[in-house]
């Protein structure tokens, strides 16, 4: 496929005079200039035609000249672009072929290498013995006992806090009951005083009315 693309590019170059991508770029740049010059020439001819007696005939000739020139320019443009496309395809195919070749070589090298030996599994380390184990056990025992003492102290403290809370609660309830009792007594005394005052008032009124009846 690469060879056919290369041959096609070479044949195109021979038939069209383009032999490299650089030449194709130069041809495309000239195409742009020629197209611009053709349009400028037609604009000049168009202005001149309007000064002549046979305006339409002059314009038709100018348009035909422009059409022929643009067709030739377009043909050169198509040829240059075609060469560039063929060259791009050939380079892409060459890159793919080179990549495939390298992949095949790497695969062959990997297949030729001996397999790696399996990793050795390390035996579990033997547990430490002797004074170090006994020392760790003693430390652990001390830690457990210390924690137990702290838990007992905290339990005693919590019990004392609960007992104090209960005492305060009982005292508060007792004070509230005492306040309610005193409020009730005061209300009763006020009621009795009001009743006595009312009785005295009625008595005084009765005494005032007694002489009047005599």
172-186 tens-digit pLDDT = 889 999 999 999 999
Q: 68 near 42, Cβ under 8 Å?
A: no
Worst-scoring range by mean pLDDT, 16-25, 38-47, 121-130?
Answer: 121-130
Return the SS3 of 1: coil
If one compares 124 and 19, the residue with the highest pLDDT of the two is 19
Where do the DSSP E strands lie in 63-157? none
Worst-scoring range by mean pLDDT, 12-16, 40-44, 59-63?
Answer: 12-16
Average pLDDT of 54-76?
95
Predicted TM-score (pTM) of this structure = 0.41
Express each pLDDT in 202-211 by its tens digit: 777 777 776 5
- Measured CA to CA, the distance from residue 90 to residue 84 in angstroms comes to 10
If one compares 163 and 123, the residue with the highest pLDDT of the two is 163
**pLDDT at residue 82 greater than cutoff 60:** yes
As given in the structure block, the two tokens for residue 48 are 């001149």
- Measured CA to CA, the distance from residue 74 to residue 82 in angstroms comes to 12
pLDDT at 12: 44
pLDDT at 122: 60
Q: 79 near 72, Cβ under 8 Å?
A: no
- Measured CA to CA, the distance from residue 83 to residue 11 in angstroms comes to 10
How many C-beta neighbours within 10 Å does residue 103 have?
Answer: 10
């Amino acid at each position: 496929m690469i060879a056919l693309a290369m041959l096609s590019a070479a044949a195109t170059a021979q038939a069209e005079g383009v032999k490299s991508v650089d030449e194709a770029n130069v041809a495309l740049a000239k195409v742009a200039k020629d197209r611009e010059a053709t349009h400028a020439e037609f604009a000049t001819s168009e202005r001149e035609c309007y000064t002549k007696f046979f305006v339409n005939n002059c314009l038709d000739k100018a348009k035909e000249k422009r059409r022929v020139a643009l067709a030739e320019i377009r043909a050169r443009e198509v040829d240059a672009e075609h060469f560039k496309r063929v060259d791009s395809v050939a380079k892409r195919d060459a890159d793919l072929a080179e990549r495939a070749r390298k992949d095949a070589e790497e695969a062959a090298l990997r297949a030729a290498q001996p397999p790696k030996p399996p990793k050795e599994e390390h035996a579990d380390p033997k547990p430490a013995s002797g004074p170090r184990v006994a020392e760790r056990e003693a430390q652990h025992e001390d830690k457990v006992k210390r924690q137990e003492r702290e838990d007992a102290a905290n339990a005693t403290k919590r019990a004392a806090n609960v007992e104090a809370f209960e005492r305060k609660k009982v005292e508060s309830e007792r004070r509230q009951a005492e306040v309610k009792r005193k409020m009730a007594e005061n209300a009763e005394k006020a009621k009795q005083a009001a009743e006595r005052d009312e009785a005295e008032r009625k008595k005084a009124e009765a005494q005032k009315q007694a002489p009047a009846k005599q």
